């Protein structure tokens, strides 16, 4: 009887023998990582769960023989947003150790390819370090990526959907996040409360200090969100209409396909290892694989 691992993309639905089968099949593990935080008056607190979770699920459903999607890491680093009620902060060290424990567990069981699919911007630097440590401390290869960056792989695709200004039109609870949520869970969008919001320091037009989902100034410093936004909306949310949510099907399809391609197309490169004994001592000191 064929193993269920060949057709099931949901990690938690497999049995332990089926996990061994999934390892033998060389399946790519996708770990969505999000946050519970404010997204303005019009979007629920789970935007950063619904969006990466939806992309990961879409990739898994499209290629169940090649992908396993893990349950989402629901709480991320959101300390700067705590002035807005409902936001749940996870200390950055706790967050990193939590995700690293997951990637190390996957590597221990034999999985070789892991994608950290991020849904919350301020998780990024933490997930980057987690991926680096996973690569150095295990035999697996781990790559982090934000779901919205999947849309930037094809340079000709971005102008086909983005209407908002750059920079600042897409940042938080913006055109893109609102459109994606309308597409994935439109009934829970407070459509009568959709209103665009400015990022106050972007209005200074400084070449050094500005922010957008798709870029930032070379000297941009992020502090309390409430110091540069009264509503928590950073961008042109009003451009996300019911019509734009229909167009999101193209964006969603592009995102999930690109996500699936990342892990499958990658191959681990061989390392150059110096023969000096001092390097062996270095590996032993930091617990790195030799």
Q: Which of 150, 163, 156, 167 is nearest to 244 (CA)?
A: 163
Average pLDDT over residues 41-52: 98
Q: Is 287 helix (H, G, I), strand (E, B) or coil?
A: coil
Length in residues, the chain: 290
**pLDDT tens sequence across 183-237:** 999 999 999 999 999 999 999 999 999 999 999 999 998 899 999 999 999 999 9
Q: Is 170 helix (H, G, I), strand (E, B) or coil?
A: strand
What global pTM score does this model have? 0.91
Which residue do the tokens 């935080």 mark?
37
Q: What pLDDT score was predicted for residue 161?
A: 86
Q: What pLDDT score was predicted for residue 258?
A: 83
Q: What pLDDT score was predicted for residue 108?
A: 98
What CA–CA distance (Å, rounded) separates 253 from 235?
Answer: 23
Higher-pLDDT residue of 34 and 62 is 34
- Lowest model confidence (mean pLDDT) among 8-22, 92-106, 114-128, 271-285: 271-285
What CA–CA distance (Å, rounded) separates 88 from 84?
Answer: 10
Q: Band the pLDDT of 250: cuts 50, 70, 90.
A: confident
| Interior/surface letters 196-231, b for 16+ CB within 10 angstroms, e for the rest | bbbbebbeeeeeeebbbbbebbeebeeeebeebbeb
Q: What pLDDT score was predicted for residue 290?
A: 52
Side-chain half-sphere exposure of 145, counting CA atoms within 13 A? 22
Rounded alpha-carbon distances, angstroms, from residue 98 to 34, 85, 126 = 13, 24, 11
What is the H or E stretch that residue 223 is in? none
Asked if the model's pLDDT at residue 276 lies above 70, the reply is no
What CA–CA distance (Å, rounded) separates 172 from 81?
Answer: 12
Average pLDDT over residues 171-185: 95
Asked if the model's pLDDT at residue 245 lies above 90, the reply is no
Q: Band the pLDDT of 21: cuts 50, 70, 90.
A: very high
Cα radius of gyration (the chain): 20
Q: What pLDDT score was predicted for residue 87?
A: 98
Q: What pLDDT score was predicted for residue 272?
A: 61
Highest mean pLDDT among 154-168, 247-261, 270-284: 154-168
Residue 40 gets the label, from left (phi > 0), alpha (psi -120 to 50) or beta, of left
Asked if the model's pLDDT at residue 53 lies above 70, the reply is yes
Rounded alpha-carbon distances, angstroms, from residue 100 to 1, 56, 132, 143, 278 = 35, 19, 10, 12, 27
| Interior/surface letters 106-129, b for 16+ CB within 10 angstroms, e for the rest | bbeeebbbbbbbbbbbbbbebbee
Which residue do the tokens 């960056």 mark?
149
What CA–CA distance (Å, rounded) separates 139 from 268?
Answer: 10
């Amino acid at each position: 009887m064929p193993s269920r691992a060949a057709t099931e993309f949901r990690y938690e639905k497999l049995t332990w023998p089926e996990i061994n089968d999934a390892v033998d099949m060389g399946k790519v593990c996708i770990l969505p990582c999000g946050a519970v935080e404010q997204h303005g008056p019009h979007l629920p607190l789970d935007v950063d769960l619904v969006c990466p979770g939806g992309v990961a699920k879409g990739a898994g459903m499209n290629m169940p023989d090649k992908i396993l999607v893990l349950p989402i890491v629901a709480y991320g680093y959101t300390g700067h947003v705590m002035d807005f009620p409902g936001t749940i902060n996870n200390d950055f060290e706790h967050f990193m150790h939590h995700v690293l424990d997951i990637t190390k567990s996957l590597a221990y069981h034999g999985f070789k390819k892991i994608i950290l699919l991020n849904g919350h911007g301020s998780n990024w630097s933490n997930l980057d370090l987690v991926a680096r440590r996973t690569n150095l401390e295990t035999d697996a290869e781990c790559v982090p990526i934000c779901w919205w960056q999947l849309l930037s792989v094809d340079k000709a695709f971005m102008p086909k959907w983005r209407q908002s200004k750059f920079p600042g039109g897409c940042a938080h609870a913006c055109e893109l996040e609102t459109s994606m949520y309308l597409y994935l869970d439109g009934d829970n969008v407070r459509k009568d409360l959709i209103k665009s919001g400015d990022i106050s320091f972007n209005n200074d037009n400084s070449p050094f200090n500005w922010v957008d989902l798709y870029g930032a100034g070379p000297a941009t410093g992020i502090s309390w969100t409430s110091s540069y936004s009264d509503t928590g909306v950073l961008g042109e949310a009003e451009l996300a209409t019911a019509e734009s949510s229909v167009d999101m099907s193209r964006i969603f399809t592009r995102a999930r396909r690109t996500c699936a391609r990342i892990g499958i197309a990658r191959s681990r490169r061989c390392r150059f290892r110096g023969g000096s004994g001092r390097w062996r001592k270095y590996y032993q000191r930091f617990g790195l694989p030799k």
